[in-house]
């Protein structure tokens, strides 16, 4: 069974719960969503129920077609582990969990975690997964080891009490030492696999804060704090203001990527802060910049 948590933004166009979920969970059919267990503000809800700004939505999706996720002995860099959580340093190129349409069944972070925890094959595509990083993005990611931890952390992410900081290299020299990008986002109407800055129907609040760490001749290293967690948010926001991420295969241009010749997309989840699901103490985890990105910065300084 898969779990999803959403908090309705203040600027969300008010609608019915089923229509909201159809937009947010396009990988599931409407007939499957109609079978889901739905909670609004921790109370049972019906698909036709109206939703309002500030509502906390919880969705429990029933099992899809049987798909066993096998444990795999894959490299797994562990930053911290106790009885409740596992914090890993995800490598670039690793998919977090098998996709719902059956792709990436092997070689994912979930496969590696199952092996590490000495678990048997799982039919749950997202065991313990409460957030994700893009395939190309490296860095800190927390996995819940118990259902209680998963529920607690899911709500913490949904209510934006988790602090996430990234390091990114953008093409061009930023004109200000720090800034804030407040630009609603949504699916690109022309390509559902991409996101873009939008206004009107389908747009959701997206806010990114940044500060310059170091300037290079034709690029800028920035430290980024996400105040919201939209898919591809950092990549879309910086592209929208004219500073695409170096090495981004989707939102940068072929010409820029050939010019910079980066080893991969330069985006790294460097810091993660959240309240521990059991002790409720604020914990902080850091991931150093990967070697290939450090070496690339050294080349830029020459």
pLDDT along the chain (302 residues), means of 10: 79 76 74 84 90 90 73 95 97 84 74 92 78 94 96 93 97 96 89 84 89 97 95 97 97 96 97 98 98 96 82
Cβ-based neighbours of 188, under 8 Å, separated by 6 or more: 194, 195, 196
7 phi and psi, to 5 degrees? -120, 125
Relative to beta strand 43-44, strand 37-40 is: antiparallel
Cβ-based neighbours of 148, under 8 Å, separated by 6 or more: 84, 277, 278
pLDDT at position 135 is 92
pLDDT at position 286 is 98
DSSP assigned state of 121: P
pLDDT at position 262 is 97
| Sequence ranges of the domains in the chain | 2-61, 69-154, 164-269+294-301
Record: fold of 2-61 = 3.10.290
pLDDT at position 126 is 77
Whether the domain at 2-61 and the domain at 164-269+294-301 fall into the same CATH topology? no
Task: State the Cα torsion 296-162-172-291 to the nearest 10°.
Answer: 0
Report which of 215, 132, 236, 137 is spatially closest to residue 172, judged by C-alpha positions.
Answer: 215
Cross-strand partners of 215: 220
* Other beta carbons less than 10 A from residue 132's beta carbon: 16
Separation between Cα atoms, residue 143 and residue 134, nearest integer Å: 15
195 phi and psi, to 5 degrees? -115, 160
Instruction: Say how far residue 86 (Cα) sits from the centre of its chain.
Output: 17
Q: Which helix (H) or strand (E) holds 291?
A: helix 291-301
Annotated catalytic residues are 134
Instruction: Say how far residue 132 (Cα) sits from the centre of its chain.
Output: 4
Record: fold of 164-269+294-301 = Pseudouridine synthase (3.30.2350)
Using an 8 Å Cβ cutoff, are 182 and 207 in contact? yes
pLDDT at position 22 is 78
Separation between Cα atoms, residue 183 and residue 172, nearest integer Å: 20
pLDDT at position 14 is 66
Q: Does domain 69-154 have CATH number 3.30.2350.10?
A: yes
């Amino acid at each position: 069974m898969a779990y999803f948590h959403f908090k309705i933004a203040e600027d969300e166009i008010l609608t019915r719960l089923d229509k909201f979920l159809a937009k947010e969970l396009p990988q599931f059919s409407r007939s499957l969503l109609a079978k889901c267990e739905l909670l609004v503000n921790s109370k049972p809800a019906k698909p036709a129920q109206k939703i309002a700004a500030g509502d906390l939505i919880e969705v429990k999706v029933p099992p899809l077609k049987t798909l066993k996720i096998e444990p795999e002995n894959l490299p797994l860099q562990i930053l911290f582990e106790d009885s409740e959580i596992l914090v890993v340093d995800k490598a670039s190129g690793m998919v977090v969990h098998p996709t719902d349409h059956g792709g990436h069944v092997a070689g994912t972070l979930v496969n590696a975690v199952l092996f590490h925890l000495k678990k048997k094959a799982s039919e749950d595509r997202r065991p313990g997964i409460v957030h994700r990083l893009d395939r190309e993005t490296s860095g800190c990611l927390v996995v819940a080891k118990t259902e209680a931890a998963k529920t607690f952390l899911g709500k913490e992410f949904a209510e934006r009490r988790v602090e996430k900081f990234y390091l990114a290299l953008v093409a061009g020299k930023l004109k200000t030492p720090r800034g804030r990008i407040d630009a609603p986002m949504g699916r690109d109407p022309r390509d559902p696999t991409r996101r873009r800055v939008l206004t009107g129907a389908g747009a959701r609040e997206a806010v990114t804060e940044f500060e310059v760490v170091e300037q290079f001749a034709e690029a800028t290293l920035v430290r980024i704090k996400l105040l919201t967690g939209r898919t591809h948010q950092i990549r879309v926001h910086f592209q929208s203001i004219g500073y695409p991420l170096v090495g981004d295969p989707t939102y940068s241009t072929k010409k820029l990527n050939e010019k910079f010749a980066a080893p991969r997309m330069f985006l790294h989840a460097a810091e993660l802060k959240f309240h521990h699901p059991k002790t409720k103490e604020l914990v902080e985890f850091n991931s150093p910049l990967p070697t290939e990105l450090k070496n690339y910065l050294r080349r830029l300084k020459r």
